[in-house]
Structure 1
């Protein structure tokens, strides 16, 4: 099993992103937002089927649950901010500090700017997102769950990076015989309104 956790401020679109990836569902098609929620799907890597669990939580979850449970056994974290909400972008550093405090040292992280279809409401430029990702040493994508832009691509990159991480590979695949490649590097396509 591979566990991914989506974190970020309220209303940045974690649930929509999770539904779009895990269920290929339109945002809001299953609008119930439980305090702790996850979706599961299976993917094939080589000759092995791997369950991918994608977790997200809403802000009403207590700090204890957030720290003690959410990060436990996660191999990857997706930090989300909304391009139309500068405060959520400025909160990324807070999430990084929390990840460092409560997660494993070898965790894979990517940064996602959500809602990139809202160009007329943009408060955070693509360049700012990329610069922050570069400072943090993580891969960056802008996504739109509504228009299905870069959702699969961003999840595929973090999953590949986890699978190709020497420390995590045995845990995920339960085998040391898989061949390893260098960390996947990818650039998201610039997100624009068509």
Structure 2
């Protein structure tokens, strides 16, 4: 068994670093000196293809961190299986700045969207397995997290499908994740009626 607080500290640190590194890709080109406010505004507007993947990735990491924190209410010990899935999850978290950079530079090319979507889908699957590795009492208290996983995977699949149209906005399909609380309430209501 491993002390959970040590894993929690590593998790928070890696999320903080990954979320901070995202912004490094949003920068003005070197050697460009705007001379008027209009030139500066055009330069800043030209950053939007890099800014939106940054905001999207920051939001996704924030939601994934929040769900991970919610999944581990205790401060006891965790199993080796929990640690292994957690480390797999964190590996994918640390890849988000790279996949965001690729997406920011090549958003209209489908492989950039596929890479980004695969990274985020892998995180969702690892988070689900991490939840399954919790002790039964904690898992029962929290729920199985399958609804959130399904919504997340659907949004990744939509992003990939939209990528075939050659649009840099395909990753906006991840905004579907904002519907997760509503879908969870609907599913919980149906489960309650069936019970």
Of Structure 1 and Structure 2, the greater helix share is in 2
Q: Establish whether TM, by shorter chain, passes 0.5.
A: no
Of Structure 1 and Structure 2, the greater strand share is in 1
TM, length-normalised to structure 1: 0.27
Instruction: Pick the structure with greater CA Rg.
Output: 2
TM, length-normalised to structure 2: 0.27
